[in-house]
Amino acid sequence: MKRTLLLVDDREMFLHIAKSCLVPKGFNVLLGHNEEDVMKELARAAVDMVLLDIGLGLKGDEGLGILRRIRESTKDLPIIMVSADAGKQKLCYDLGATAFIPKPVNYDFLYRQIYRALTNNTIIIADDKPS
């Protein structure tokens, strides 16, 4: 059975490229642009995972609010956050993100993170910078 991913970003180009990379891997891909789209798709479809950009909305952080709202209703749905601002990584994990992927996105890395999130919902974070 195909797994269903909900990709959320306000940039059409990112959504188009990500979808074109994930559909050939066997995923059913739904697209959203904002909180309204996310809540509608989560209520309507059996979504297995959400890939959510932090930088949505006028203030550029609507994705964090969406993450909070999803986590209020479920802790089990894997949510991978995406952002060009690596400084938001810890906040994403604190709010319940399953994984964090920096932009620009490496699509091989994205696929591996999706696979890990869907198979065991465990992501290993390695900090290879010396302390």
Q: Which CATH number is 76's domain given?
A: 3.40.50.2300
pLDDT digits (tens, 9 = 90+) for 109-123: 999 999 999 987 554
Question: For 28, phi and psi rounded to 5 degrees?
Answer: -90, 125
pTM, to two decimals: 0.87
Q: For a pLDDT cut of 90, what percent of the chain falls above it?
A: 76
Q: Is residue 91 part of a domain?
A: yes
Q: Is residue 28 part of a domain?
A: yes
Q: Is residue 39 part of a domain?
A: yes
| Contact in structure between 48 and 5 (CB atoms under 8 Å) | yes
Q: Is residue 118 part of a domain?
A: no
For the beta carbon of residue 98, count every other beta carbon within 10 angstroms: 22
Q: Is the pLDDT of residue 34 over 80?
A: yes
The residue range of the domain holding 49 is: 4-113
Q: Is residue 125 part of a domain?
A: no
The average pLDDT across 49-56 equals 94
Q: Is residue 121 part of a domain?
A: no
pLDDT, residue 54, reads 94
Q: Is the pLDDT of residue 4 over 90?
A: yes
Q: Is residue 15 part of a domain?
A: yes
- For the chain, the straight-line distance linking the first and the last C-alpha, in angstroms and rounded, comes to 44
Alpha helices in 25-106 (DSSP H): 35-44, 62-73, 89-94
The average pLDDT across 85-99 equals 94
Q: Is residue 102 part of a domain?
A: yes
**Number of domains, the chain:** 1
| Contact in structure between 103 and 83 (CB atoms under 8 Å) | yes
